[in-house]
Amino acid sequence: MPFDPSPIEPVTHPSREGLIQWLEQQPPEKEYDFFDCKGNCAIGQYMKFIGIPWKRDYTYERICVATDDGGYLAYKGKHTFGAMLERALADNN
């Protein structure tokens, strides 16, 4: 899916759909640090975007990034926003 810089609807709670919309707005080649537990990982950046203060909360991770096979969208494969978007679109969760 091509990079789409157009504005998206405001989101007030984390969701897989909201994460996908946010990922579509990110430069696909931009890398994120999966191991950054201070909010600069992909999910932390998404949470900041929707206005929720970062804290390591597995509830958000299950909603947004858990995959059908028990993995995480943010962890598998290449750590770029474009690769994470591809994984999110391909996952049935």
**What is the number of domains present in the chain?**
1
For the question of whether the overall pTM of this predicted structure is more than 0.85, the answer is no
Residue 7 lies in a domain: no
22-33 residue pLDDT tens: 999 999 999 999
In a domain, 6, yes or no: no
- What are the tens digits of pLDDT across the range 46-92? 888 988 877 766 555 665 666 666 667 777 789 999 999 998 898 86
Q: Is residue 82 part of a domain?
A: yes
Domain extent for 62: 16-90
Cβ neighbourhood burial of 34 (10 Å; 0-12, 13-18, 19+): middle
Residue 2 included in any domain = no
Measure Cα distances from 27 to 3, 12, 23, 53, 75 in Å.
6, 23, 8, 23, 18
Tell me whether residue 79 is in a domain. yes
Look at residue 1 in the predicted model and tell me its pLDDT. Answer: 55
